[in-house]
Structure 1
Amino acid sequence: MKQTLLIAALLFITYLSSAQIEITKPIEEFAANKNTIVTNEKGVKYAYADWAKLMATGNYKLNPLIHDSDSTSFILVRRNEKAEDAKFAKLPKPVETKFFKTGAVFRFKDMIDMSGEQITAESLKGKIVVLNFWFIACPPCRYEMPELNTLVENYKKNKDVIFIAISLDKLADVKKFLTVIPFKFHVVGQSMPLFYLYGVDECPASLVIDRTGIIKFHSQGYGDGATPYWIKKTIAEIQTQN
């Protein structure tokens, strides 16, 4: 299976029909649950109560064995940001998208997030903006969310860095999903017109846009989990240049 999920045909059909992606299973099943196989790095299996308790501390994360499709098996690892940054710094930069270009101007549109907050193109001027395009049934989109949430936490006191996640899914489905798997970005639901406008046909796709509206980083796919590191790195580079 490709690292990213091709949705071009779906985009075309659903845009013309004004429909949205249909969820074919209970949204609760998109999250890790009692049926999920969780082991340590040596392959020793955890009981559900044990790994769930460790995850609740916020000091651990689940790495999927299969990145590009729904994985039923995960490795529980203790968080170590410094070690992970050192690892990702040695890896190739994530694959760039086909639909954005580094150095190009990104044209923002007015949006409304799931809390009802208006995000206008005018309000984003002079800000560093992180964008993420995703949809619920995209496994790699879900797998990178915990690390993207950590990024939001790292910058929560910095009002100059804005995180926006643009989803294909119906508002009702997104609302329910966020109760199962929290996503700390400003989440904008039912956004097929934005996908169509920007030509996004594969997810997940991430961008970092500087204060002048220039695209400084863009990637598609899970990228072995490296995308959040590169987003953080790009934000730091922008901050040192201004």
Structure 2
Amino acid sequence: MYKITLLFIALLFLNISILFAQDKKQIYYDEKGNKISFMEFVSIEMSGRYTSYSDSSSKYKVEWKWIANSEQQKNEFISKARVENIVADSIGQTFPGISFYDINNQLYNKDSLNGKIVFINYWFVGCTPCEAERPELNRLYEKYKNKDDIVFLSFSNSDEKTVRKFLKSHAINYPVAIFSRTLDDKLGISEFPVNIILDKSLKYKLYMKGISKGTSLLIEETLEDLL
């Protein structure tokens, strides 16, 4: 069974216990004031860019809104992620020489990736923390997609049929490949989600297991440092 990070579970149950302890309708908004689902609310909470607060002035409902976090708060989340999520002994190691196709039949190998900054996200269908971080990963992809020296990739541990069905209703804006037995043997991924950044010589610059409020912030900081 895949490990789910204790931090995420604690956050999820904390929010649930707060929300359902009150006999009022819960209404969630994004940072622009649009109504969203509870899962979308959790995604923003985990981004580290905002802190939620509740407006329970109404007798019948509680509205959940956002305050932008300061740079100091963001840096604190990043520092915590460095301690709790980074696999330090992988940093500086060379990424295994692999060759694979994404689900659109695009080939990737050492030759095509060498000289590029490579971001890789590992996930599977049904992974709640993977869902929580995906909007932020899509945001980062949109930010960097026009830079020729950055490649975003996604490996799913689910079978191709399940992944294709999932993608019909869930947006992943960057290429998706299936995590094969060969890749599993070479990479040894056993916990999801995992986020990796390789420098232009295909050495690990960032290797993060699990999810925290500093995950996407640290990914973005690392990409900026490598540009």
Q: TM-score, normalized by length of structure 1?
A: 0.66
Partner deviation per Cα, 1:96-140 (whole Å, 9 max, x = no partner): 248x61111112411111222122221001000001111112111
Structure of larger gyration radius: 2
Question: Which whole-Å deviations, capped at 9, do the CAs of 1:184-204 have from their partners, x for residues lacking one?
Answer: 221102523312321111111
Q: Corresponding residue for 2:27?
A: 46
Change (3 A) 1:85 1:112: farther
- Identify the match of residue 226 of structure 2 among 207, 214, 238: 238
The letter for the 2-side match of 1:226 is: G
Q: Is the 8 A contact 2:96 2:187 kept in 1?
A: no
Residues 78 and 181 of structure 1, relative CA distance in 2, 3 Å threshold? farther
The residue number in structure 1 matching 2:177 is 188
Q: Which runs of 5+ in 1 are unaligned?
A: 6-35, 68-74
Q: How many residues align?
A: 190
How is 1:4-153 mapped onto 2 (pairs within 5 angstroms)? Answer: 4=5, 45-46=26-27, 54-55=35-36, 61-63=40-42, 77=65, 83=69, 86-91=72-77, 92=80, 93=82, 94-97=84-87, 101-153=90-142
CA pair 78-176 structure 1, distance change in 2 beyond 3 A? farther
Which residue of 170, 176, 200 corresponds with 1:211?
200
* C-alpha deviation, 1:176, in angstroms: 0.9
TM-score by length of 2: 0.70
Structure 2 residue runs without a partner (length 5+): 7-15, 47-62
Indicate the RMSD between aligned Cα atoms, in angstroms. Answer: 3.7
- Alignment of 1:227 onto 2:215: yes
Q: What is the CA–CA distance in structure 1 between the aligned matches of 2:72 and 2:136, rounded to whole Å? A: 16
Residue equivalent to 2:190? 201
Provide the secondary structure at the position in 2 that maps to 1:162.
strand
Report the alpha carbon displacement of residue 3 of structure 1 after superposing the two structures with TM.
4.1
Q: State the identity as a percent.
A: 25
Partner of 2:9: none
